Structure 1
Amino acid sequence: MMIQQIFLIICLFLWFCSFPTYGQQSDQTTIEQKAKHGYHHSFHDVHHYAQLFESKERDKWQKPDRIIESLHIKPGYTVADLGAGTGYFTRRFSKAVGNEGKVYALDSEPAMVDYLQKEVKNKNLTNVIVKLVKPNNPDLGKASIDIIFICEVLHHIDNRIEYLKKLSLSLKNGGKIALIDFYPNAPYGPPQSHRISEKEAIAEFQLAGYKLLKKHNFLPYQYFLEFIPKT
């Protein structure tokens, strides 16, 4: 009889432990609620933003060449530059993947897409495909991308967890997502109230079915993380 009682107590304890605590549920709910709303901002004045995005001052703290190097991009890779803007990283990806590779430069701002299409044509970047996409749909083929690059864009996206789930379907086996965004106290970036902290970003990716692969620490104003889908 005593053994049966002990067994019952153990089973009840394990059953109770299988449920998240109130604090865990509350944290997850907070993350999910914040992930529903992005920061909406017009980039219609392309030439104004081109001066900012393409400035030499940005090169100093953005360290684009070191970012490209750290991603270990191989010739022949397919890279998706999400929120490509003026092509600051697109041009570098084009060089890294080579003639056998492909770069999808995606943006939801028509004026940016027009600008980037002209840039790609003028620079003869034949391995770059510029696409206008909807804010809630990256419009990428299934299992078609080696690296999805999201730099200073995540905070603009509504329903981020669902969006990230869509992105995972586009990754090839072994593919990854590279995320870069501003620290809360950085002197650049969106308004403080719309920034996503590193901890929040990791939590959102985990809820979307990813795990953190790598963390880079060489950027002064931004966190730089790599994620892969959980297996």
Structure 2
Amino acid sequence: MLNRRASSAKSKSEEIIKALSLKPGQQIADVGSGGGYFSFLFARDVGREGKVYAVDTNKGLLDFVRSNSERNGFHNIITVFAEDSRFSLMNEKLDLVFLRNVYHHLPNREIYFSNLVDSLSTGAKIAIIDYDGRGKWSSHRLFCHYVPKATIINEMNVAGYSLVENHTFLPEQSFLVFSATNNENNQNQEEALL
């Protein structure tokens, strides 16, 4: 029930996973993990050597993820309670931070992502999927549960990130991938992606 929307064909979850090019041993934060649908897909692909941090502000959802991971033998999923949308993984370095339909909920997004850079490994990526306001009668648009793609790019630039991938296969959402390395090559690549 909790993962029904994420697992629907419309969500294109396997295409998303393929686009992320996950590797065994990676450490991933699934921010706003909800029922953990993507956390379980990540755990499958990073294997026993990798770790997936299911991060959420809802303790009930984290309990659900924890019990399902134990029941299904996923020992590489760690639940993390994020108070006020902030979280700490102590000294862990992340290879990927994944947010799906969460970006529009975050307050002070530039500060949030600026502070996150110390938790990233060299070459780490931030993948943001969020509703972008397409669709005249969209409930996401009606309730302002979306962020235009240009706004995400601008805010991430302010936070010190550059756009490195722009996937266009989701019908109502933008799927943007950023890198913390803000050099001339990334800026040229970003211009080519737009």
Q: Please classify the TM superposition score into its range, dividing by the shorter chain length.
A: 0.7 to 0.9
Please report how far the alpha carbon of residue 141 of structure 1 lies from its aligned counterpart in structure 2 after TM superposition: 3.6
Q: How does 1:4-15 map to 2 (within 5 A)?
A: none
Cα gap change, 1:129/1:105 in structure 2, threshold over 3 Å: closer, same or farther? same
Moved over 6 A (4+): none
Q: Which moved more, 1:208-217 or 1:130-139?
A: 130-139
Q: Does 2:186 correspond to 1:198?
A: no
Q: Does 2:184 correspond to 1:208?
A: no
Q: Does 2:142 correspond to 1:180?
A: no
Q: Which amino acid aligns with 1:153?
A: V
Please report how far the alpha carbon of residue 199 of structure 1 lies from its aligned counterpart in structure 2 after TM superposition: 0.6
Contact 1:135 1:157 in 2 (8 A): no
Aligned with residue 4 of structure 2, among 54, 60, 81: 54
Cα gap change, 1:155/1:72 in structure 2, threshold over 3 Å: closer, same or farther? same
Please report how far the alpha carbon of residue 138 of structure 1 lies from its aligned counterpart in structure 2 after TM superposition: 2.0
Residue segments in structure 1 that go unaligned for 5+ positions in a row = 1-46
- Greater fraction helix: 1
| Number of equivalent positions | 180
Q: Distance in 2 between matches of 1:161 and 1:142?
A: 22
Task: Report the equivalent of 1:96.
Answer: 45
Higher relative contact order, chain-length normalized (CA < 8 Å, sep 6+): 1
Q: How does 1:1-231 map to 2 (within 5 A)?
A: 50=2, 53-55=3-5, 59-142=8-91, 144-186=93-135, 187=138, 189=140, 191-229=142-180, 230-231=182-183
Cα gap change, 1:196/1:103 in structure 2, threshold over 3 Å: closer, same or farther? same
1:4-53 Cα distance to aligned partner (Å, 9 max, x none)? xxxxxxxxxxxxxxxxxxxxxxxxxxxxxxxxxxxxxxxxxxx6xx1xx3
Contact 2:57 2:85 in 1 (8 A): no
Q: Which amino acid aligns with 1:59?
A: S
Cα gap change, 1:64/1:194 in structure 2, threshold over 3 Å: closer, same or farther? closer
Please report how far the alpha carbon of residue 142 of structure 1 lies from its aligned counterpart in structure 2 after TM superposition: 4.7
Q: TM-score, normalised by structure 2?
A: 0.86
Cα gap change, 1:105/1:190 in structure 2, threshold over 3 Å: closer, same or farther? farther
Q: TM-score, normalised by structure 1?
A: 0.73
Q: Distance in 1 between matches of 2:85 and 2:69?
A: 25
Q: Distance in 1 between matches of 2:25 and 2:65?
A: 22
What is the CA RMSD across the aligned residues, in angstroms? Answer: 1.8
Q: Which amino acid aligns with 1:102?
A: K
